[in-house]
A and B are shown apart, each in its own frame.
Chain A
Amino acid sequence: MNKMTLSAAIVATAALFTGAANAQVDLDAVLSIDGTTMITRAPAPDFLDIDEVISGWVYRATETQALQMDDFENPGMIFVDVAVDDWNTVEGTEGKSCASCHVGGPEEFAGLRAVLPRWNEAEGKMFTMEDYINYSRVNYMGAEPLPLAKPRMDAMVALISLQSRGMPMNVAIDGPVADIWAQGEELYYTRVGQLDMACANCHEANFGNMIRADRLSQGQSNGFPVYRLKNAKLNSIQARFKGCMKNIRAEPYAVGSEEFRALELYVASRGNGLSVEGPSVRN
């Protein structure tokens, strides 16, 4: 039973008992949000040995799936609302907000989430969404950078990701990012930690199988930032990597480290073809 049905029980609505298919998984479910159908299954990119890439949404229980199919029910959208306020908040020495420069609103960034991380030629560095946000804050607003994987940053990433919802992931893996991508691939297949496991052991060799009471997904990043029912907040991609590494009893890399940045690029590329879903809902 999820947290939201619990509070609904207080007012004794029928909602509590409509989830007859408790904890069942419908692998053929179609994700449609406000009339837009998302691509949750796509042919795998050439470099993968698997045939099909599958969104983590497919593996979630029917009630969890339903939360994401309605923007009102999706608790991640609360944080999008919070980020809209932040978007208009003037901060820093230049007396500017996001809205001062981006007069077209967050909608200016339609499509951006689908191609990140990507190479930033001017800076000579690979940029994630967080990098872009902090770059603008520091250089144009004269404000402090937002800490990574903290609520304000995750909410802003959610707001900007939302503008690309439904667009297929299309991350470039060649050119200047080729070396970083290769580092990410290496990390993905390297066994670490006391349990001696690599990402691939679960998310490539065993997706769809049970791990304790939970069903393993392919570990796709198209739905990030993710609202998780277990901690009732948005979770960034790299914070999730950290959680995974703790689960296999490894010493996690730091959020923002070169290792996690490389892994973020590699994992994103594994999902090329899947719709951007952020902010999605998972357990």
Chain B
Amino acid sequence: MAEDSKPRVRVPRSATAGEAFEIKTLISHKMESGQRKDSDGNTIPRSIINHFSCDFNGENVIQVILQGAISTNPYFQFEAVIQESGTFTFTWNDDNGSVYTDSKDITVG
């Protein structure tokens, strides 16, 4: 399912400078912990999203290091404050080397 990972992001279209607003992100991923065994007793190798970051106009907003105990389809909700219009970019790094990205424009007005 890793190849089917789909990010979803919700950012307001506009915001007031200096006022906090909410951002929500969700990505579909099985988040295989590396602790489970298959029906033959072999360990299923870990396969998770190991890193998430959000940047605004090149400046980092939040970084998250994810570990094996985090549930499937990781969801992040956080707040940001901006002073000017610009673009949020979101990046998820998969154990298998894949990088999933999404971006949203926002206007200050």
25 contacts across the A-B interface (CB closer than 8 A): A3-B73, A4-B71, A7-B74, A7-B76, A10-B64, A10-B76, A11-B64, A11-B77, A13-B77, A15-B77, A72-B8, A72-B10, A72-B24, A72-B26, A77-B8, A78-B26, A78-B73, A79-B28, A81-B6, A82-B28, A85-B6, A151-B1, A232-B71, A232-B72, A232-B73
The answer to whether A3 and B72 have CB atoms under 8 Å apart is yes
Cα separation A83 to B72 with both chains bound (whole Å): 18
Query: A-side binding surface: helix, strand, loop or mixed?
Result: helix
Question: Which chain B positions have C-beta within 8 A of A79?
Answer: 28
Does B44 sit within 8 A of A, measured CB to CB?
no
Question: Which chain A positions have C-beta within 8 A of B70?
Answer: 6-7, 10
A9 CB to closest chain B CB (Å) equals: 10
Question: Which chain B positions have C-beta within 8 A of A82?
Answer: 4, 6, 28
**Total number of B residues with any Cβ neighbor in A under 8 Å:** 21
Digitize B67-107: 1 where CB-to-A-CB distance is under 8 Å, 0 elsewhere.
00011111111110000000000000000000000000000
Does A8 sit within 8 A of B, measured CB to CB?
yes
The answer to whether B73 and A75 have CB atoms under 8 Å apart is yes
Pick the contact of B8: A6, A81, A151 (CB < 8 A): A81
Pick the contact of B76: A11, A75, A81, A232 (CB < 8 A): A11
Does B17 sit within 8 A of A, measured CB to CB?
no
Cα separation A273 to B4 with both chains bound (whole Å): 36
The answer to whether B26 and A8 have CB atoms under 8 Å apart is no
Pick the contact of B71: A3, A72, A81 (CB < 8 A): A3
Per the 8 Å Cβ criterion, residues 47-106 of A in contact with B are: 72-73, 75, 77-79, 81-82, 85
